[in-house]
Amino acid sequence: MALPQINELPRYELTIPSSKQQVSFRPFLVKEQKTLLIALESQDESQILRAVVDTIGTCVYEPIKLETLATFDVEYMFTMIRSKSVGENANVNLKCTQCEEFTEVVIPLEDIQVKIPEETPTVKLNDNYTVQLKYPQYKGLQKELNSSNPDTMADAMIDMIILCLDKLRTEDELINFANETKENIITFIESLNTQQFENLINFVQGLPKLSHDVLFKCDHCDKANEVLLQGLQDFF
């Protein structure tokens, strides 16, 4: 005979940043927390991301296509679920810019936001060609993490740019990068001049992510500090 379920799970709501879809969710339980802890202990980035996405999938009630979530959707949704599961604050150790000692700062997780431009992102390469960009999806990032590590930082940046390329527009034609091979796309990127490549890098480096401005006074020297926290790793 199965033992009884002793807890009635509360139900909360959140809005997915990229799609504005409202979904309901429950806190994660010991079974999900165990999976997350095992992934963290592995220190494998791909395994950690998989555990985070699996946790979202089990805790959200509505059917959602997990593989199509933008990376910042994953970060935001996990943060909101964690806030209702473990605690609504995160304790973060921040380094003072003056004495370089650390101070523990409490961050209210509900204050963390993701800012997304309303316009479709584009980069004009020249008078004839414009690249329409997109935000990288979880499935693409997971695939890159599972593949062999790139040899150089330039290779890693090109891989990230490829995830962001959507369409190439001319006056007469619209080329969908999804229909092209990776080799063809790499050849296209390598044919760009340095300024065109720099414009694509700027988009990648400015991708939406969790962010929160933190003001704190150092416990050791009383210096007032201002720090911008960005991305899931900065908060947990």
Pick the closest to residue 129 from 191, 206, 202 (CA basis): 191
CB 185 within 8 A of CB 165: yes
Q: pLDDT tens digits, residue range 175-208?
A: 999 999 999 999 999 999 999 999 999 999 888 8
> Which one is predicted more confidently, 59 or 9?
59
Residue 43 has pLDDT above 70, yes or no: yes
Amino acid type, 182: K
- pTM score above 0.85: no
Report, as an integer, the average pLDDT of 50-62: 94
147 confidence band (pLDDT: 50, 70, 90): low
> Which one is predicted more confidently, 106 or 49?
106
Domain coordinates of the chain in residue numbers? 8-87, 90-112+209-236, 122-205
Report, as an integer, the average pLDDT of 137-162: 74
Fold of 8-87: rbstp2171 (3.30.2220)
